[in-house]
Chains A and B, each alone.
Chain A
Amino acid sequence: MKTILLWLLLLASGVALAQSNLEINTPAVAQIKSAMAVRHGQLAPHYASGALGLAQDASVQLRDPNAVPLAQRAAVQAAVAAENNDRTALYREIAKANGNPSWETDIRSTFAQRWIDKAQPGWWVQTAQGAWQKK
């Protein structure tokens, strides 16, 4: 009986550990993250101007192209496309790193909420109804 209780305790602690963290320290995740951090320097002014917004689907959207000076528009469009590719890859890699590729959709919606929650005042975010709103 005592041994069984010990086993139960051990199993329970294993469950608790498995629950506490997601694996995000993989080379693939690190690489995507640093590319995104560098790109953020280019995108940040356009979040502030309202040209870019954080969408409900965890992507970045060029919601007002006219807010970007014409000379920069193509470069910003390319950066947004690259950012969204990286974001999709990031969600997929985290799901994969945790042995559950099917979690990708859940991870994407978790990120969608957190990008929006952490957006700075003045940035544009999309509401659940699809409307754009200035924070």
Chain B
Amino acid sequence: MPRSVLPLFAVAGLLAGCVTINIYFPAAAAEKAADKIIDEVWQLQKKLDVTAPAKETK
């Protein structure tokens, strides 16, 4: 096999790796995203208003 073919295999392998990563669920990133959203919804950063009753706006 000519040596110049080897890098091509390497690139092909890496591309396949990229596809795999996009299909598999990024668990760590999801956890980070969940934490960020939960902090905002539960207002865990600023402790104000946590117990303030919500006004029903209708």
A115 to chain B, nearest CB (A): 6
Task: Number of A interface residues at 8 Å Cβ cutoff, please give it.
Answer: 38
Taking the complex as formed, is A73 at the interface, i.e. its CB lies under 8 A from any CB of chain B?
no
Closest residue to B10 on the A side, CB-wise?
Answer: A8
Taking the complex as formed, is A90 at the interface, i.e. its CB lies under 8 A from any CB of chain B?
yes
How many residue pairs link A and B with beta carbons under 8 A? The number is 96
By the criterion CB–CB under 8 Å, are B14 and A22 in contact?
no
Task: Number of B interface residues at 8 Å Cβ cutoff, please give it.
Answer: 37
Contacts of B38 in A (CB 8 A): 111, 114-115, 118
Closest residue to B36 on the A side, CB-wise?
Answer: A24
Contacts of A129 in B (CB 8 A): none
Q: Mask for B1-45, Cβ within 8 A of A = 1, else 0?
A: 000000100110011011001110111111111111111111110
Closest residue to B53 on the A side, CB-wise?
Answer: A41
